[in-house]
Amino acid sequence: MAAQVRFEVVDNVGIVTLDRPERLNALDDPMHEALDAAFVRAFHDDDARVIVLTGAGRAFCAGADLTRLERLVAEGAAGYGIPRPGEVAPIFAGLDAPAEYLTTYTFPLALKKPVIAAVNGACVGVGMVLAACCDIRFAGRSAMFSAAFAQRGVVAEFGLGWMLPRLVGANAAADLLFSGRRLEAEEALRLGLVSRVEEDDALLDATLAYARAIATGASPRSTAIIKRQLQAAPVQKFGEASGEAYDLLMESLASEDFAESTLSFRERRPPRFTGR
């Protein structure tokens, strides 16, 4: 059987590709395992300074596969197979990340590097959770989002009810979660769910070019810390965030990457960051 999820590193960009195009990259049980394994590789690979998450073929991820849904109807919660957030699955044991991030769908939050979703075609259900947990989202012009949980008799999964209002606002989040309606790429751009819309055939190249610019031009030490700051900000008071930023700045001033950035600026050359 061909790999259902591929991971490769090109020019310091790690590319995680959902690769079950004949099923619109819908997640069945084996594909969950393959995605978990690809995410762990991305976590450990120091050459991958930025991660791009995308789908092969005509879709990003069409949600849960029908075979999985039918099995869950038959078996109920006993057959779900994904631990409650905070209860870490064996494949994620020992990873240095908050336990609540260590699930298949929320793992982009656990990665200590920027994660960019290149959303091609359908992005539905748990596929939308995956995209929402990325730091940045680009969309192809034919991309379509749908949070059709209520229409399947379930709820906003894995923190999407917390994430989505922070991305698009409370009113738009309620609309999308209650109605499950199709959200086309241009409206997603207006709402702030995505940062950019590209022609379908240019989406991946544009996303990779953006990712390479970060991978080669930004300190991996700094991007990891900034990602942590962005995640903490919604539950911090300003004084707490500002004070923490001051302490982190003092640490940064003693880092090799700070010294390298200043030297490269003086020498008029690209920086050679090490992450130290």
In whole angstroms, give the CA distance from residue 92 to residue 107. 10
In whole angstroms, give the CA distance from residue 98 to residue 85. 10
Q: For position 70, what pLDDT does the model report?
A: 79
Task: Name the strands in the sheet holding 5-10, side by side, starting at the edge strand that comes first in the sequence.
Answer: 5-10, 13-18, 50-55, 115-119, 136-140, 196-198
Is 0.85 surpassed by the pTM of this model? yes
In whole angstroms, give the CA distance from residue 132 to residue 164. 7
In whole angstroms, give the CA distance from residue 185 to residue 254. 43
Helices and strands counted in the chain (H then E): 11, 10
Residue 217, class by beta-carbon neighbours within 10 Å (0-12 exposed, 13-18 middle, 19+ buried)?
Answer: exposed
Q: How far is CA 181 from the centre of its chain?
A: 22
* Residue 211, phi then psi, degrees to nearest 5: -65, -40
Residue pair 101/110 in contact by the 8 Å Cβ criterion:
yes
Task: Supply angle C-alpha 104, 105, 106, rounded to 5.
Answer: 100
Beta strands 13-18 and 50-55, pairing class: parallel
Q: For position 1, what pLDDT does the model report?
A: 42
And the tokens for 163? 């994430």
In whole angstroms, give the CA distance from residue 158 to residue 104. 10
CA distances from 187 to 4, 59, 195, 271 (A): 31, 18, 11, 38
CA distances from 45 to 9, 35, 50, 90, 129 (A): 9, 15, 10, 19, 24
Render each residue's pLDDT in the chain as its tens digit; 276 residues.
458 999 999 999 999 999 999 999 999 989 999 999 999 999 999 999 999 999 999 999 999 888 888 777 887 777 777 888 889 999 999 999 999 999 999 999 999 999 999 999 999 999 999 999 999 999 999 999 999 999 888 889 999 999 999 999 999 999 999 999 999 999 999 999 999 999 999 999 999 999 999 999 999 999 999 999 999 998 899 999 999 999 999 999 999 999 999 899 899 888 999 989
